[in-house]
Structure 1
């Protein structure tokens, strides 16, 4: 990873935390980075896609947990999913800083 790629790679992961403050912020940052940099750097594209796929997966899991919360089964998941998201984003950012691509757990590949 070059020094020019580094801020974009780190931003693709840590930028998803914007979702805790702004609606859809967790999708916007990696999506914009991927769309704007995918042709310039394969490294940036890989990190942004991994981050975006994980955020989409987490949104789907949250929707399912929300539906299941109607019968009280999903309540624990609604509490645990944001914590899992935060931990994974932090771990991914640390790995990205080391120049490695973090394999997000429970991530479904939507963006190829």
Structure 2
């Protein structure tokens, strides 16, 4: 994402991008999808929504993997780590959006480009 032009990003766009990430803490797929569909005309918000949606999809996939691994008790640790990583990445995404910078989750699967 090359949208790091802080002077050209409006405060409304920054606020909406922050809202995408904060919403992703509670609704991983819904928040990113709603903002991606509704604010696709704003490149900054759409880029953050796309990244949040990619992270939400990754979280759901890893959640199913952890669910399978609960059988051998490793999944419990996996759920805990997934929740912690999801919270941290969403907070980092919100902080980057507030500064008018792009953000990419380190372990996210890039299904939407």
| Alignment TM class, shorter chain as reference | 0.7 to 0.9
Specify which structure has the bigger relative contact order, considering alpha-carbon pairs within 8 angstroms and separated by 6 or more residues.
2
Once superposed, which parts of structure 1, at least 4 consecutive aligned residues long, lie more than 2 Å away? none
Cross-structure match for 2:92: 91
5+ residue gaps, structure 1, are 19-24
What is the TM-score when the length of structure 2 is the normalising length? 0.86
Give the 3-state SS of the residue equivalent to 1:109 in structure 2.
coil
5+ residue gaps, structure 2, are 1-8
Q: Distance in 2 between matches of 1:73 and 1:30?
A: 29
Q: How many residues align?
A: 105
Q: Distance in 2 between matches of 1:70 and 1:55?
A: 24
Give the 3-state SS of the residue equivalent to 1:74 in structure 2.
helix
Cross-structure match for 1:3: 11
What is the TM-score when the length of structure 1 is the normalising length? 0.87
Q: Distance in 2 between matches of 1:5 and 1:34?
A: 13
* 1:45 CA drift (Å): 0.7
RMSD of the alignment, in Å?
1.2
